[in-house]
Structure 1
Amino acid sequence: MLAKYNPGVIICLRKLTICTLLVLLTFSGHGQEFLFNRKRQKQSISFKCIKNLMVIPVFVNGNGPYDFVLDTGVGPMIITDPSIIDSLNFGKLRKIKVLGLGIESVDAYVSQSLNVKVGSASIKYIPAAVLKEDLFNLSGHLGLKIYGLLGYSFFNSFIVDIRYSENRLIIYDRDTRIKYRGKKIPIEIENQKPYIFATIDVPNGKTVEARFLIDTGASHALSLEMLNGTGFPLPEKKIKANLGMSLSGLIKGYVGRIKRFNIGGYVFKDVVSGFPDFASIADKIDLSKRNGNLGADLLRKFNIQFNYQDGFIYVKPNGFRKVPFEHDMVGMVLYLDQQTYKRVLIGEIDENSPAEKAGLQPNDEIIGVNFKSMDAYSLNDLTEMFKSKADRAIILEIFRDNQTYFKVVKLEKRI
């Protein structure tokens, strides 16, 4: 689920596409479970919620903590920042070629010798893949140094209680009796990833049942990829968009709204969804397993208890339940440069967007917003500001070609 970084092409975090598109070898061998030390049966762990993604501290081989994204959409642990290789003496690891879409391959290293610790729980010999290059620039897009993703090994070891409303999770030993809250919904674990069924209204007025990957590592609400062997029907009102980037390059498509989405009896209206171009992904992704991807912008409206071993989740609506779904009202991607992780740069700009109308350009550096320096804002702050209110005017101070300009951007609800 991640996004590959290229200086000329900036990845939008509407969808982090890494492991749904990544072909890794099957890991086998040692036991692959986290275990609490001594007699502990549960632990509360705080997480940072950045662009809807959960970031937790992880120790690797006694070093750290390193910030990792907690991601149900990945199987083996993925180390995305190559700087961790030298610090952990990865020099003798076996090298493999990882297949990507649209390119021949990239180098990665395979490990089953890492010892990982989260809180008081640890695992020996966790299956892991280490990418040779920092292809995804997660740090640049989240505004925080990110070293990788942790998925199946963690979720399969515990009952995981994610409390989005409190920015914390509670992990329980699987043998511990716990109090479940909310409504029980069955899930299916396949190829180390969880899937769920939901009903959705399609543009022709019909309601269909669809299968979704539950993806806490995707910052969007929904991605609708396939229905009845072809592309998902598009809503009448939509905008062209680059939905993200994989090892293949840009994932093009549209963004629009779905009238009704029903999961476990909880109904959401006017859900913002991405619609990847079916022709460009159909022969590169196995869509036989799912119709789409259910991301964290929708998941965070619940507090969720995951039980992989018994195949269910419990969901209970929280304070985010009634917050409306909004799409970016500026039409541009922001990221931190990979050298200093301090300069805020403009990446891709959508055609006919408020950003384009205001005269902003790719590679412009934003040095101030509303007459405040960038020290006053995180990337997450700016993301929320750019979705805040239609017709709101935002003054951007930019640096371009050794000159400073002020640009006024008027937010526009485009879908």
Structure 2
Amino acid sequence: MLAKYKSGVIICLRKLTICLVLVFLTFPGFGQEFRFKRNRQKQSIPFKCIKNLMVIPVYVNGKGPYDFVLDTGVGPMIITDPSIIDSLNFSQLRKIKVSGLGIESVDAYVSQSLDVKVGRASIKYIPAAILKEDLFNLSGHLGLKIYGLLGYSFFNSFIVDIRYSENRLIIYDPDTKIKYRGKKIPIEIESQKPYISATIDASNGKTVEARFLMDTGASHALSLEMLNGMEFPLPQKKIKANLGMSLSGQIKGYVGRVTRFNIGGYVFKDVVAGFPDFTSISNKIDLSKRNGNLGADLLRKFNIQFNYQDGFIYVKPNGFRKTAFEHDMVGMVLYLDQKTYKRVLIGEIDENSPAEKAGLFPDDEIIGINFKSIDAYSLNDLSEMFKSKAERNIILEIFRDNQVYLKIVRLEKRI
């Protein structure tokens, strides 16, 4: 009998926080910054928004472009695709071992000798960590070849104006006078990451002030980890879920809704939130500086101007502001196989989910949906389809054990 859960990776990029804790101490300093050439003061850069994540082109040592996730939740640049090691001839880099509960020890490389270029801005000797193996299969889960993540060095070098409504960002030299839009909210930069305060109605009926890591590299809306030194109170209605994968193993917990979330005076209701298992994560990461993680599914409802150096952001609601928060109504994870990046495979399946009820299993290959070839859809298309409308029927054409099956999945609003 096939297991209900396959060991794998869910596209929940908060997993990288633990990875960075392990490699961060290998870098002696973070003094380098991106700079424009020839007195340029600003530049507009388009980005691809895939599963709420920003993907931008990056050149490394004059080669590229390589697609990177722009991620406020990381410090040093991380190269996640090991193929970039050979293409850049990194044979002389210092090697370290990275290990965690649930996976075997793997090799990683550390470097402060890379030259990186984004648009017309460049940086020399950027701190970087290069994983020997693509542990998280970012490419497979985003449906696009991803080579890594770019964080603090980028955001600390500019005033970064993220316009989610236009799929573009504008970067400004920090000495440039710009027009800020919307409401000013203070942030704190600690360990190269931004933190923000917000109020939240907990399930015990109390309104509490909480501190969150602002994480543009997390596809979810909200993750609630700790309150008063203990697990965050769980909502009455919740479902078991795999919330992601870290170097310390799978992150298990629950998904539910928060009745009210207030950030800077902007109130959001019925926010979908993850509640990771407190016992397991509190033993692996330091939760003393935060109550949770604020991800891109909520952040994208604003156009945001980041000013790391002066410690504030400006936020202005955009066209996504009134879009309701929805959780996946199928209960399974899809990813592309790591060899061809063409076959769409099923990974984890939630217990008692529509996917399980329809008779789907991990390792099933989806070759068609609603009588169209799977080639007609991107993974992002499928992600949106699977949370589109409760009671909708979706016909899946499945390839399993050299046979083709038709499975009908009825979307279900589980929370």
State the TM bucket, normalised to the shorter chain: over 0.9
3-state SS in 2 of match to 1:289: coil
State the alpha-carbon separation in 1 of the partners of residues 233 and 29 from structure 2. Answer: 44
**Cα deviation digits, residues 352-404 of structure 1 (max 9, x gap):** 10001111111000000000001110000000000000000000001000000
**Cα deviation digits, residues 281-300 of structure 1 (max 9, x gap):** 11111000100000000000
Match of 1:4 in 2: none
CA shift in 2, pair 1:109/1:15, >3 Å: closer
3-state SS in 1 of match to 2:342: coil
Match of 1:46 in 2: 46
Are the equivalent residues in 2 in contact too, given 1:302–1:317 (CA < 8 A)?
yes
State the alpha-carbon separation in 2 of the partners of residues 295 and 104 from structure 1. Answer: 29
3-state SS in 1 of match to 2:107: strand
Residue pairs, 1:14-413, within 5 angstroms:
14-22=12-20, 23-24=22-23, 25-28=25-28, 31-103=31-103, 105-413=105-413
Structure 2 counterpart of 1:304, which letter?
Answer: I
Query: 1:28: Cα distance to partner?
Result: 2.8
TM-score by length of 1: 0.97
State the alpha-carbon separation in 2 of the partners of residues 74 and 20 from structure 1. Answer: 10
State the alpha-carbon separation in 2 of the partners of residues 16 and 146 from structure 1. Answer: 16
State the alpha-carbon separation in 1 of the partners of residues 84 and 314 from structure 2. Answer: 36
Structure 2 counterpart of 1:11, which letter?
Answer: V
- Aligned residue pairs total 409
Are the equivalent residues in 2 in contact too, given 1:57–1:67 (CA < 8 A)?
yes
CA shift in 2, pair 1:74/1:15, >3 Å: closer
3-state SS in 2 of match to 1:382: helix
Structure 2 counterpart of 1:9, which letter?
Answer: S
State the alpha-carbon separation in 2 of the partners of residues 248 and 336 from structure 1. Answer: 23
Query: 1:103: Cα distance to partner?
Result: 4.7
Are the equivalent residues in 2 in contact too, given 1:21–1:100 (CA < 8 A)?
no
State the alpha-carbon separation in 1 of the partners of residues 247 and 190 from structure 2. Answer: 23
3-state SS in 2 of match to 1:297: helix
Are the equivalent residues in 2 in contact too, given 1:15–1:243 (CA < 8 A)?
no
Are the equivalent residues in 1 in contact too, given 2:259–2:269 (CA < 8 A)?
yes
Query: 1:96: Cα distance to partner?
Result: 1.3
3-state SS in 1 of match to 2:126: strand
Are the equivalent residues in 2 in contact too, given 1:235–1:258 (CA < 8 A)?
yes
CA shift in 2, pair 1:264/1:30, >3 Å: closer
Match of 2:414 in 1: 414
3-state SS in 2 of match to 1:58: strand
Query: 1:19: Cα distance to partner?
Result: 2.6
Are the equivalent residues in 1 in contact too, given 2:248–2:284 (CA < 8 A)?
no
Query: 1:71: Cα distance to partner?
Result: 0.1
**Cα deviation digits, residues 286-331 of structure 1 (max 9, x gap):** 0001000000000000000000000000000000000000000000
Question: Could you say what the CA RMSD is over the residues aligned between the two structures, in angstroms?
Answer: 1.2
3-state SS in 1 of match to 2:356: helix
Are the equivalent residues in 1 in contact too, given 2:126–2:153 (CA < 8 A)?
yes
State the alpha-carbon separation in 2 of the partners of residues 66 and 46 from structure 1. Answer: 14
Are the equivalent residues in 2 in contact too, given 1:100–1:106 (CA < 8 A)?
no
**Cα deviation digits, residues 227-279 of structure 1 (max 9, x gap):** 00010000000000010010111111000000000000000000000000001
Q: Which moved more, 1:241-250 or 1:138-147?
A: 241-250
Are the equivalent residues in 2 in contact too, given 1:101–1:246 (CA < 8 A)?
no
Query: 1:100: Cα distance to partner?
Result: 3.0
Are the equivalent residues in 1 in contact too, given 2:215–2:293 (CA < 8 A)?
yes
Query: 1:106: Cα distance to partner?
Result: 2.6
Are the equivalent residues in 2 in contact too, given 1:20–1:74 (CA < 8 A)?
no
Tell me, which stretches of 5 or more residues in structure 2 are unaligned? Answer: none
CA shift in 2, pair 1:193/1:51, >3 Å: same
Q: Which moved more, 1:23-32 or 1:127-136?
A: 23-32
State the alpha-carbon separation in 2 of the partners of residues 405 and 226 from structure 1. Answer: 44
Query: 1:20: Cα distance to partner?
Result: 4.0
Structure 2 counterpart of 1:56, which letter?
Answer: I
Match of 1:3 in 2: none
Match of 2:11 in 1: 13
3-state SS in 1 of match to 2:15: coil
Are the equivalent residues in 1 in contact too, given 2:18–2:246 (CA < 8 A)?
no
Structure 1 counterpart of 2:17, which letter?
Answer: C
3-state SS in 2 of match to 1:66: strand
CA shift in 2, pair 1:328/1:164, >3 Å: same
State the alpha-carbon separation in 1 of the partners of residues 338 and 102 from structure 2. Answer: 24
State the alpha-carbon separation in 1 of the partners of residues 351 and 398 from structure 2. Answer: 20
CA shift in 2, pair 1:150/1:15, >3 Å: closer
State the alpha-carbon separation in 2 of the partners of residues 160 and 413 from structure 1. Answer: 36
Structure 1's consecutive aligned runs of 4 or more residues displaced over 6 angstroms after TM superposition are: none
State the alpha-carbon separation in 2 of the partners of residues 274 and 145 from structure 1. Answer: 27
3-state SS in 2 of match to 1:287: coil
State the alpha-carbon separation in 2 of the partners of residues 243 and 129 from structure 1. Answer: 24
Query: 1:30: Cα distance to partner?
Result: 7.7
TM-score by length of 2: 0.97
State the alpha-carbon separation in 2 of the partners of residues 206 and 228 from structure 1. Answer: 13
Query: 1:46: Cα distance to partner?
Result: 0.2
Are the equivalent residues in 1 in contact too, given 2:18–2:247 (CA < 8 A)?
no
State the alpha-carbon separation in 1 of the partners of residues 97 and 216 from structure 2. Answer: 27
Query: 1:12: Cα distance to partner?
Result: 2.0
